[in-house]
Structure 1
């Protein structure tokens, strides 16, 4: 970690505030007509997802953290640990289930994103790609006359998550799903 001045703040920079990591989403230097200048920031928690506002005195220092995103392949989990493999070094790494986000969208053999604290070389969290292609494992059969514009029905994916799909989707079909919202996007080609 290194000290960084408020004059060096940039969007995307990660700061350590009392042991929690926050990314700067917005910042503004303010010079009022009366009194000292200050910097107003909006921060998003890396681990907890909280959004906070913080005001800094101009020239005040903060702890900067270097965060890197790596691509790993998801291998399997044993309930408590998720086992991931680095795509370049083939090193297998166990990650606690508490450090895994959107667990229901991890499919064996697919790639995922892992956020790493580059200074300490420790894994902060793992998450699936924003869009994944996954096979429908179980859903009710579509009825004759159902159209693409009709309603939707629940479907269980091979990863275990449940999403709503159009009525014309059947078991065994491969679909594309947005893991951030849990919504069906389209049939996979």
Structure 2
């Protein structure tokens, strides 16, 4: 967690379940009233930019981001294959991860579209359906960290 006054260009935060990069910020101290931060945030997934005001002292969830050079190689069906330029490892946009912690699942609860938080082996939190249990393998979209489906081992 970081304070709103610590946000700078390039800072990545999680807000409303989405990831945003700060592309512009301004520390505003009006003559009357409280000091606040005026920011422009760019959505990591779809690139939309939104303006948002944060009060000084407001807590924001910061996200650690690692940047690595990747090169597009080819398309295989619905998957785009990329190569890490440093390790030459190839990867599609989906990855399989093991759930390390989640609340116990409810058997047969597949009729509703309700999601619960689950922690995966990388430490990231993913929203999964109620029937998913600890120790299961799931497929996750690496672009936005969303649940795609269960993987049979």
Whether the 8 Å contact between 1:14 and 1:21 is mirrored in structure 2 is yes
Higher RCO structure (Cα 8 Å, ≥6 apart): 2
Match 1:74 to one of 72, 75, 92? 72
**What are the within-5 Å matches in structure 2 for residues 3-14 of structure 1?**
3-14=1-12
Is 1:19 aligned with 2:17?
A: yes
Q: TM-score, normalised by structure 1?
A: 0.48
C-alpha displacement of 1:83:
1.6
**In structure 1, what is the Cα distance between the partners aligned to 2:11 and 2:74?**
32
| Aligned residue-pair number | 101
User: Radius of gyration: which is bigger?
Assistant: 1
Distance (Å, rounded) in 1 between the aligned partners of 2:51 and 2:71: 35
2:50 maps to 1:31:
no
SS of the aligned residue for 2:8 comes to coil
Listed as ranges, the gaps of 5+ residues in structure 2 are 95-121, 125-140, 145-153
CA distance in 1, matches of 2:123, 2:69: 18
Distance 1:75 1:29 in 2: 43
* 1:133-144 alignment, distance < 5 Å: none
Counterpart contact for 2:71–2:83, Cα < 8 Å = yes
Match of 2:42 among 41, 44, 55: 44
Is the contact between residue 65 and residue 119 of structure 1 (CA under 8 Å) also seen in structure 2?
no
